[in-house]
């Protein structure tokens, strides 16, 4: 397995880039956010309600909960696949846990790609983001419009705005990112694994850069 961690603030394009790379290469996309959203939809338990509340506010879900979902999903990627891990790790504890778990499988993180995007662009992207309520495909009201307004190109379902994309919550997610996740840039750099990519251009250009740098 070639494990590539995608680092970057909310709105930096991790999910968009990964979804486009999946169409071009044999890659396995593992998104902690998608896993969590699917898990809380499936089960109505005290643990899932706690996770849902954290996600709505843009706070982090407990490390053990996310870690278990991500590791279980990684095990289901084909052994030889390139894996794009998006949204995990989000703090140093998770990064250390990931290193231990992949070592157990005889592998290691091959690179950590940091999609670097200025904050003003992040806010515009998050506020205009819409996702398909059914298949979770991502759109933007200005620069990644669906063919028919409000309808998913892939599955024809209605597009929705994520609750954590509302203005007050975007601000909170950016604070959480700065406080907990941004430190991972140094964490991976000090291990010689960091690859910086300018993520501020349109999605096609960023996808090309990531593909040429770490996949092709
Ligand atoms: P974004 O990166 O755009 O903020 P995600 O879809 O990756 O969105 O994550 C949505 C929410 O899911 C986060 O705000 C957080 O509550 C939760 N989450 C996702 N990944 C993790 C993680 N690794 N650790 C803790 N919480 C997480």
23 is annotated as an active-site residue: no
Q: One of 20, 73, 125, 173 is an active-site residue; which one?
A: 173
90 is annotated as an active-site residue: yes
User: Residue 80: pLDDT above 90?
Assistant: no
pLDDT at 1: 83
Atom nearest to 58 CA in ligand 1: 14
Q: What is the pLDDT of residues 34-56, one digit of tens each?
A: 999 999 999 899 999 999 999 99
129 is annotated as an active-site residue: yes
Strand partners, 138: 131
Residue 187 neighbours by CB under 8 Å, 6+ apart: 92, 95
Atom nearest to 59 CA in ligand 1: 16
Determine contact, residues 132/154, Cβ cutoff 8 Å.
yes
Determine contact, residues 141/125, Cβ cutoff 8 Å.
no
Q: What is the pLDDT of residues 63-77, one digit of tens each?
A: 999 999 999 999 999
- Measured in Å, residue 172 CA sits from the centre of ligand 1 at 12
- Measured in Å, residue 87 CA sits from the centre of ligand 1 at 6
Residue of 6, 55, 70 to test ligand 1 pocket, by largest number of atoms within 8 Å of CB: 55
125 is annotated as an active-site residue: no
Q: Enter the pTM of the model.
A: 0.92
Determine contact, residues 32/87, Cβ cutoff 8 Å.
yes
User: Residue 84: pLDDT above 80?
Assistant: yes
Atom nearest to 86 CA in ligand 1: 7
d(CA 111, CA 90): 15
For the segment 116-124, the average pLDDT, to the nearest whole number, is 96
162 is annotated as an active-site residue: yes
d(CA 24, CA 40): 30
d(CA 145, CA 132): 12
User: Residue 129: pLDDT above 80?
Assistant: yes
Buried b (16+ CB within 10 A) or exposed e, 7-45: bbbbbbbbbbbbbbbeeeeebbbbbbbbbbbebbeeeee
């Amino acid at each position: 397995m070639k494990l590539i961690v995608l680092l970057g603030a909310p709105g930096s394009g991790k999910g968009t880039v990964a979804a486009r790379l999946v169409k071009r290469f044999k890659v396995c996309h593992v998104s902690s956010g998608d896993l969590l959203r699917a898990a809380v939809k499936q089960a109505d338990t005290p643990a899932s309600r706690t996770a849902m509340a954290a996600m709505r506010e843009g706070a982090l879900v407990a490390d053990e909960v996310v870690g278990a979902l991500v590791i279980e999903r990684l095990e289901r990627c084909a052994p030889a696949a390139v894996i794009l891990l998006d949204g995990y790790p989000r703090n140093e504890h998770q990064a250390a846990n990931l290193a231990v778990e992949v070592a157990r499988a005889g592998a290691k993180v091959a690179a950590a790609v940091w999609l670097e995007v200025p904050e003003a662009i992040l806010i515009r992207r998050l506020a205009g983001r819409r996702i398909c309520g059914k298949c979770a495909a991502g759109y933007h009201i200005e620069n990644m419009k669906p063919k028919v307004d409000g309808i998913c190109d892939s599955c024809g379902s209605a597009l929705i705005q994520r609750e954590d994309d509302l203005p007050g919550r975007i601000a909170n997610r950016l604070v959480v990112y700065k406080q907990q996740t941004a430190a991972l840039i140094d964490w991976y750099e000090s291990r010689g694994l960091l690859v910086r990519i300018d993520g501020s251009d349109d999605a096609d250009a960023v996808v090309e850069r990531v593909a040429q740098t770490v996949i092709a």
